[in-house]
Amino acid sequence: MSAELFLLIALEGGQRDEAMALHDRSRSALTRAASNPAGNAIDIARYKRAQSALEALALAARAAGAPWTMSDSPVGLGSSALLDTAPHSPPAHPEVRRLLERAVPGAVVVEVVWPFAPGATVLPEREDGQLPPARRWSAQGMRAKEAIQVRFRGQLEVAMRTAAESPSCSRVPSGTAGQRPEAIVPSGIPNAVLTDTLREFVAQVPGRGPVDVPVRYRDGSCARPFPLGAVPMGRTWEPTARLLSFALMSIRHVELDVTVDGAWLRNSEISRPRPMAQTDELVYDTSRRQLAALTAAGQVALEIYQSGLEPAVVGFYRAVVDHLREQPGSVAVLPVFYRDDGPFGEGVPWRSP
Q: What confidence tens digit (pLDDT) does each residue in 82-94 have?
A: 765 444 445 667 8
Q: What percent of the chain has pLDDT over 90?
A: 18
pLDDT at residue 133, rounded to an integer = 67
Residue 166: pLDDT over 60? no
Residue 102 CB neighbours (<10 A): 12
pLDDT band at 345 (very low <50, low <70, confident <90, very high): confident
H-helix or E-strand spanning residue 112: strand 108-118
pLDDT band at 176 (very low <50, low <70, confident <90, very high): very low
User: What digits encode the pLDDT tens for the residues 187-237?
Assistant: 888 888 899 999 988 888 877 778 888 888 888 888 888 998 888 888 777
**Worst-scoring range by mean pLDDT, 5-9, 15-19, 88-92, 220-224?**
88-92
CB 181 within 8 A of CB 166: yes
Nearest to 10 by CA among 89, 66, 93, 91: 66
In angstroms, rounded to a whole number, what is the distance separating the alpha carbons of residues 127 and 212? 27
Strand partners, 332: 301, 351
Phi, psi of 58 (to 5 degrees): -65, -40
pLDDT at residue 155, rounded to an integer = 82
H-helix or E-strand spanning residue 333: strand 331-339
Residue 342, helix vs strand vs coil: strand
Strand partners, 184: 215
Task: Dump strand ranges (E) for 34-107.
Answer: 68-71, 81-83
pLDDT at residue 254, rounded to an integer = 72
205: which DSSP letter?
B
> Checking phi first, is residue 83 left (phi over 0); if not, alpha (psi -120 to 50) or beta?
beta
pLDDT band at 173 (very low <50, low <70, confident <90, very high): very low
Task: For Cα atoms 73, 74, 77, give the angle at the middle one, nearest 5 degrees.
Answer: 155
Mean pLDDT, the chain, integer? 81
In angstroms, rounded to a whole number, what is the distance separating the alpha carbons of residues 45 and 2? 29
CB 234 within 8 A of CB 250: no
